[in-house]
Amino acid sequence: MTSVVSLQAVAIYSGPSFRSPHANDLIKPTPPHSQNQPNTMASKACCTIPPVVSDTDAYKLQGSHDKISDLKTYVTGSTDSKTGVLVIYDIFGLDFAQTLQGADIIASSTSSLVVIPDFFKGEPMAISGFPPDTPEKQKALGEFFAGPAAPPKTVAKVGELVPLLKEKYPSVERWALMGYCWGGKVTALLSGAGCPFVGSAQIHPAMMDAEDAAKLTVPHFVLATKDEDAETTEKVRGIIENHQDEAVRTKSQVMRWEGTFHGFMAARVDLKDAESKAYYEKGYKKLVHWLKEVLGTTRQSKL
């Protein structure tokens, strides 16, 4: 039986494969508390990232592959770092330079250790089946979300991974969590009661749900696109703006960019397209700035 979650996923991924970004996109930071905004002099430094390499075939990885438990894992940044970011990739898996370059950007720009475990163990959803514009492709996508990519399964896997991260990387004192697309849903589910991370981020999130926002216990970052439901994004924004948890209410950020598409910061982006590259850069600058703030807090993660 096809689950509600898998039907939502099919709806997201059945949209246009790409849309050229435009300058007049909608950007709504949440919330606009002046005490949480960077000063003008610090802003430029906070938003600086390495140059983005357009030719993904020629991109030279800055990290390497290791194993955490039985999971092949991309690791980038110093293992002596005091801060770390656990990344949950999109349904296309670990082998896309666009995603790995993003991890390298985060690691170098935040001076953090960044790890991306291969939760699908080398068997992700094939990107060749996209967009799912036939009944057969939609059926395959629904079955993938109901099977290997069922969010509760990965939530459990992350729970098992948490003590292993602490053991393998003892120098890291504060961990953040982030996910792309499907990984954003998993991230949201992990950001409620008992969350061991200092903050969490959803990038062009699939299956975004206002109920997840209501359960947040850590500062949260949402970067949605024109392919994510506008009404749901506004509901999430409203819940976060009025959240009972002060840290969630004052240190979170919700944006919806109308000019770009679902997947623009991960596997689906074509960085040879100038406008897509511009949005990729812009997105990582926003994310890096937020991560630097949340990882720089005095609160320590519970890992």
Nearest to 228 by CA among 6, 11, 1: 11
Q: Give the pLDDT score at 60.
A: 98
- Note the residue count of the chain: 303
Q: Which two tokens stand for residue 257?
A: 């960019």
pLDDT digits (tens, 9 = 90+) for 91-110: 999 999 999 999 999 999 99
CA end-to-end span of the chain: 37
pLDDT (tens digit, 9 = 90+) per residue, 250-299?
999 999 999 999 999 999 999 999 999 999 999 999 999 999 999 995 56
pTM: 0.87
- For the cut 80, the answer to whether the pLDDT of residue 245 exceeds it is yes
